Amino acid sequence: MPTELIRELVRRSYEVYDQGNRAFVLDLFDDDIELVFHLPPEILPVPPRVRGKAAVIAALMKIDELVEIIRNEIELILVDGDQAVVICNRTVRMRATGEIRTAKIAAFHRYRDGRLAHYQYFADGVEVLNQAMRLSALGVPAA
């Protein structure tokens, strides 16, 4: 896939995901897609690694039950061959508490035949932990 096509696909997928358009994003997934989350399960209680379209869809549905994505402010999209790296500031609302949380996110994408085959997600653990500790001190549950 050409670099500019991958860059546009990444940009557009974040945009429509923020708008709640899951069908567009799901259509981008390779049947053997793998998602890897580098977050403690207390912060995001989904398996740290899921593989296959059905398992990925189930994990995303669980995330949607827990958080509402308010905004992804993309700072950087780098594309090299079939891979892309995205750095963004993500703002979410915790559905259970209404609390707003923000974090710096790094996401690594790998495409195969025009479909997302691998997605690896890292959040700024220090900021996520600080917010969880502040909320805990106020008596608000972490997740």
Q: Which helix (H) or strand (E) holds 119?
A: strand 115-123
Q: Which domain holds residue 10?
A: 3-137
Q: For 81, left (φ over 0), alpha (ψ -120 to 50), or beta?
A: left
- pLDDT at residue 135, as a whole number: 52
Whether 33 maps to a domain, the answer reads yes
**How many CB atoms lie under 10 A from the CB of residue 109?**
21
Whether 143 maps to a domain, the answer reads no
Q: d(Cα 2, Cα 39) in Å, to the nearest integer? A: 32
CA–centroid distance for 40 within its chain: 14
Count structural domains, the chain.
1
Whether 142 maps to a domain, the answer reads no
- The CA-to-CA distance between both ends of the chain, in Å, stands at 38
Whether 23 maps to a domain, the answer reads yes
> What's 126's domain CATH number?
3.10.450.50
Whether 125 maps to a domain, the answer reads yes
Whether 58 maps to a domain, the answer reads yes
Whether 73 maps to a domain, the answer reads yes
- pLDDT at residue 10, as a whole number: 92
Q: d(Cα 26, Cα 35) in Å, to the nearest integer? A: 13
Sign of CA dihedral 100, 27, 49, 15: negative
Question: For the chain (length 143 residues), average pLDDT per consecutive 10?
Answer: 88 87 85 92 83 92 91 95 95 90 93 93 71 56 52
Whether 43 maps to a domain, the answer reads yes
pTM equals 0.82
